[in-house]
Amino acid sequence: MARTRQNAKRSSGGLAPNVPLATSSSGTDVASHDNGSNASQSRKRSATTQGSSQNTDRRPSEAVKRAKTTTTVQSVRGANEGISVQASGKPFVYHDQSIASLLRQLKDSGNPVYCHKCMDNASQPVPCTRCTNYLCTQCCVQLALVLDRDDLFFMCHQCETAREGVYTRYYGVFYIKTKMPFFKQKGKQGLTLTCKGYGPRGVKWLHPKVAVIDARLACLDGEGHPPGMVTQYLRAMMHEMKENVRRFELVIDFPNDNPEEFLDAHQVKIEKLTKEIKEFAPEVILFFVETHSNDENGDLSYAPFAATDIRNFFEHVLGVNLLQSISSTPTHLFLLCCGGITNQDSMRDLKTVAHNYKINNVFIPTAPKYFPPLSTPSVLYFAQQVIIHGHPAEFQSMLPSPHFHVGQQTGIVHLARDVASTYLWSEDHVRPNGVQLPLQCKDCGAVHAWDSGKKKDEAIIFKCTAIWDRELGIMCRGKFISEPSRDPIQNLHTQPLGTWISKPFIF
């Protein structure tokens, strides 16, 4: 079988030799090293601001955790022309400005804004005084009663929850002087949210902080791959709190020759990334590792033509400090590499690593040559089910219906709590008994010449339909027989386009 070039961007497999990756002579103290030209700085993409330039009122965004920051507010004219930044570098927030005052500034600015619940501006959007959220009078009907009040200010439910707590009643409108809830004093029961149909039942308002760690080999192009796509998707789903999703990149760009000389600079990059993740303080981590894997022994590449075993890769390339820092946070690891890693020796090492660093779930493809973008729909569905809806992180969480395009190319091994299972998509005419049909007939070499297959007992027999001699009508007699697995198998999803089957992985 022809092998893909090691540095090919469409595949993550190959036969890179195992090149020893010696531990740095300086030990773990990398802070004293010069963070100069040799240290490749990790690129941290900050969370995008709420909305676009066409749907904001030029008020600078501010995280909810800074909601209690007290600052002065400039005049209406100055606010419309732009607000300066404090010496500390933190942007101004509008602290308890009245609803009528903010609406006048909004009208003078002339910029259209949109409600963060219904995404519409047909009704009057009311700006929050602590962040860049808006809530319109259609989604919150009682706001229409206070649009002209100069003695009241408004807080969206994220800001009020951050101040008061999760399980408190949402009031939203407060007196500027006493800071008592307006509707509470009037005998009301807080604001009434009347919006319906903006999300299915179970979609949470208060989403967790999600860190997407993208560790990939520099020669692999990440365009359209799962880390970037799931970051965009989660930010879109958490449009009210986009800063709760952040992507951290760890680009692995060791040289093929003398990689140990680059180890110190790489450790500096890991230490910086670890610090950034700690400051972000995520509640859930999606960890993607995209690299080549040796087709025969499962070694993972840290350079285009240099690889090392699983334990060395995790401890030296990903870094012990990074793994220890995330061990207390629920972490789901996606290994986007070719299926050589699923041999028993490599899986034993991976099991040890996952156990030592308390990684909750590990998903590994089994295809000899794997194309990472095929995982994107599955990862998006996983993020929707686990993070947005709060369902358990299981393999079934990666299976939208119908879901077969990934299964046509690869199976998936799921490692969780020291137990692993292999999941295969099975369809009698495409992937019988979870086994991929050979591309060619071994007798005549014809490509895609198999018939639709016939069942005999529990096996499925495919005949080659290639014609050797058209004049004489001589056909190939080649066959391919797909025998059922003798291991215990469980059917997961029976669909018109096939079914997913699972069997235990034996270490």
Same domain, 331 and 404: yes
Same domain, 457 and 356: no
Which residues are registered as beta bridge partners of 285?
211, 331
Give tens-digit pLDDT for 235-286: 887 765 678 899 999 999 888 888 878 888 899 999 999 999 999 999 999 9
Lowest mean pLDDT among 54-63, 193-202, 274-283, 365-374: 54-63
Sole residue written with tokens 């469409």? 10
Same domain, 290 and 348: yes
Does residue 372 fall inside a structural domain?
yes
pLDDT (0 to 100) of residue 156: 84
Same domain, 95 and 172: yes
pLDDT (0 to 100) of residue 14: 66
pLDDT tops 70 at residue 133: yes
Same domain, 335 and 450: no
Domain of 107, in residue numbers: 64-185
Does residue 126 fall inside a structural domain?
yes
CATH number of the domain bearing residue 330: 3.40.50
Same domain, 385 and 457: no
Of 52, 65, 417, 360, the closest CA to residue 209 belongs to: 65
Greater confidence (421 vs 191) lies with: 421
Q: How many domains does the chain have?
A: 3
The chain-wide mean pLDDT, for the chain, equals 76
Does residue 303 fall inside a structural domain?
yes
pLDDT tops 60 at residue 136: yes
Given strand 306-308, what is the order of strands in its sheet? Answer: 13-14, 293-294, 300-303, 306-308
Same domain, 408 and 437: no
Q: What is the mean pLDDT of residues 502-506?
A: 86
Joined together, the tokens standing for residue 397 give 């969480």
Rounded Cα distance, 292 and 272, in Å = 25
pLDDT tops 70 at residue 73: no
Domain end point (choices 185, 215, 249):
185
Same domain, 169 and 228: no
Give the rounded distance of the alpha carbon of 239 from its chain centre. 16
Same domain, 152 and 257: no
Domain end point (choices 133, 152, 185):
185
Does residue 245 fall inside a structural domain?
yes
Of 423, 316, 436, 276, the closest CA to residue 363 belongs to: 423
Report the residue count for the chain.
507
Does residue 49 fall inside a structural domain?
no
Does residue 33 fall inside a structural domain?
no
pLDDT (0 to 100) of residue 367: 87
Domain end point (choices 185, 219, 239):
185
pTM of the shown model: 0.65
Same domain, 349 and 320: yes
Does residue 193 fall inside a structural domain?
no
Does residue 285 fall inside a structural domain?
yes
Same domain, 229 and 332: yes
